[in-house]
Amino acid sequence: MPLSRQSLASIAEVLGAVSGDSAGLLIYKHLGVRPEELQSGALGRLGALEAADAEAVWSLVSELARETSAIRAGTSPKYVFDGRWREVARWLLHDGWVIENGVLVRVAPGAEEATGIRDALIEALAVSGLDADEGIRTGIANSAAAFVREAPDFNGSITNARVALETTARRAAIARAASGGSPYPNDSWGAALLYLRNAGVLSLSEEETLARIYTFVSPGAHVPAGISEEEWARLSRTFVLGACFFVLKRHQGSP
């Protein structure tokens, strides 16, 4: 049950709001890292969380959720802990988990979270040459921030993710043209998909699938019956970020 880097960072921050002894004991109890082995500060706690296996991290988070009141009682000032814990809860929700009566409960399918596609996409973009200005990564980050803010902006979350997909396709087409392909005459979503197909990066069926995903999550698209806006935003992000990753890998793998 791996958690996203945002959830891990938030957990590191909330542990910083817990008294030093209590935080050290929680980390030792679940992660097996002694206080004297732990690097100081939030980055030290984050490093311990990232180095631990997923089950150990999950055990620590489960105790934080289960014993929130008791842990909070030993903190000062309590408003700092409360703020940090709300941030943890929001990022856990983004990962597809909600805290109910001290128990973490799965609230919807979360392929994006379970496969780590978001983090893999961010890492791939960093070395792709398509995102030197971090415009695509900023769109992905803004999408996540809109999802977890108070109050959540689910439409904004989907819109930012969709812009990231469009930008990925357009930049892939521009890069292909710059490397000696035919001229890229029209910098738009539809033109980018057509260009990538004509360049052999995408097949016809792949182009059509990507176009359908984009339309499926566009403004005015009907939210399927029985799915809440929150669930729809999470699923839409999964679709769109998966499509971004697909376009990027096809661009990198095509001659």
The token duo for 69 is: 């009141």
DSSP conformational letter for 97:
E
Residue of 252, 234, 227, 251 whose CA lies nearest to 117 = 234
**CB-based contact 168:248 (threshold 8 Å):** yes
pLDDT tens digits, residue range 175-200?
988 887 778 877 889 999 999 999 99
Residue of 176, 179, 178 whose CA lies nearest to 193 = 176
Residue corresponding to tokens 């980018």: 192
Compute the distance between CA of residue 86 and CA of residue 233 in angstroms, rounded to an integer.
Answer: 20
pLDDT tens digits, residue range 60-81?
999 999 999 999 998 989 999 9
| Displacement of CA 187 from its chain's centroid (Å) | 27
Compute the distance between CA of residue 28 and CA of residue 221 in angstroms, rounded to an integer.
Answer: 48
**CB-based contact 45:38 (threshold 8 Å):** yes
Amino acid at site 227: I
pLDDT tens digits, residue range 228-244?
888 888 888 888 999 99
Compute the distance between CA of residue 237 and CA of residue 144 in angstroms, rounded to an integer.
Answer: 9
Tell me: pLDDT of 107 over 90.
no
What is the per-residue pLDDT for 220? 59
* CB-based burial, 68-83: b 16+ in 10 Å, e otherwise: beebeeebeeeeebee
Residue of 4, 252, 212 whose CA lies nearest to 130 = 252
**CB-based contact 16:71 (threshold 8 Å):** no
DSSP conformational letter for 35:
G
Does the pTM surpass 0.85? The reply is no
